[in-house]
Amino acid sequence: MAANQRYMHPIPSVRQPDRTEDLTHAKAVATTLKGIEESGQNPVVTRAAVQSAELRVRAVEGAHAAAQYAPLNLQETLAQILQRLETISETLEEVRDANTANTGKIALIAATTHNHRVIGRNMRTLPERCEPLQKTIPGDGVARALAATRRRGLAAPPASSHRRCASRLQPQDRRLYPR
C-alpha cells in the first residue's frame, strides 16, 4: 500500500477493495479540511490541502472501482477479446460468402422466371416477333454450347456464331467446326 505523505494514512491498493473504512476516512478528512478552510480558523489549511484531500477521495474510490470491476489479468482478457474479434471476422466472411452466393442465386431465379414468361409469350406470337431469352450462366457460354452439341450429336452452331468465337475455341473444337 502507498501512504499519503501529508496525512500518513494508507491508500488501499487495487487488491484490497474491502477496506471501506479507508474511503470513509478519506471523505471525512476532505470534508473536515474543507470546513476548516472555509471558516478560516486555521491558516495552515489552504485550498491546496483541501484539493489534495479531495483527490485522495477520488483515488480511493478509483481503487475500489478498479478492484471491483476491472479484470485482474489484462493479458488474458486481451487474448479473449482478440479471439472474439477473430471469430467475428470469420463469421463476417461466412456471411459475405453466403450473401454473394445468394445474390447469384437470386439473379439466376430472376432470369429463369423472366425466361419462363418469355417462352409463354413467344408461344402466342409469330416467330419473327419472338423475344430472346436472358442468360442464366456466366461467361459467353460457347464452351457449354459446344459440349452440349457434342453430347447430343446435334449440328454445329451457325457459321456466323462460331466464326465470331473461333478465337476462343480449343484446338479439338476447331477441328470439329472449321472456318
Q: How far apart are CA 5 and CA 141, in angstroms?
A: 86
What is the reported pLDDT for 158?
Answer: 56
Same domain, 10 and 26: yes
Same domain, 130 and 174: no
What is the reported pLDDT for 163?
Answer: 47
DSSP state letters, 76-134: HHHHHHHHHHHHHHHHHHHHHHHHHHHHHHHHHHHHHHHHHHHHHHHHTS-GGGPPPPP
Backbone angles phi, psi at 157, to 5 degrees: -60, 160
Same domain, 63 and 10: yes
Least trusted range by pLDDT, from 8-12, 149-153, 174-178: 174-178
Same domain, 55 and 88: no
Same domain, 132 and 160: no
Domain that holds residue 124: 72-136
Percent of the chain at pLDDT exceeding 90: 25
Mean pLDDT, residues 56-74: 80
What's the grid cell of residue 40?
Answer: 478560516
| Whether pLDDT at 13 is above 60 | no
| Whether pLDDT at 10 is above 70 | no
103/5: higher pLDDT: 103
| Whether pLDDT at 173 is above 80 | no
Same domain, 65 and 76: no
Task: Tell which of 69, 96, 125 closes a domain.
Answer: 69
Same domain, 43 and 87: no
pLDDT in tens, 105-152: 898 899 899 999 998 998 888 888 888 888 777 777 777 777 877 777
What is the reported pLDDT for 75?
Answer: 83
Mean pLDDT, residues 29-43: 89
pLDDT in tens, 81-102: 999 999 999 999 999 999 999 9
Quote the number of domains for the chain. Answer: 3
7/156: higher pLDDT: 156
What is the reported pLDDT for 155?
Answer: 64
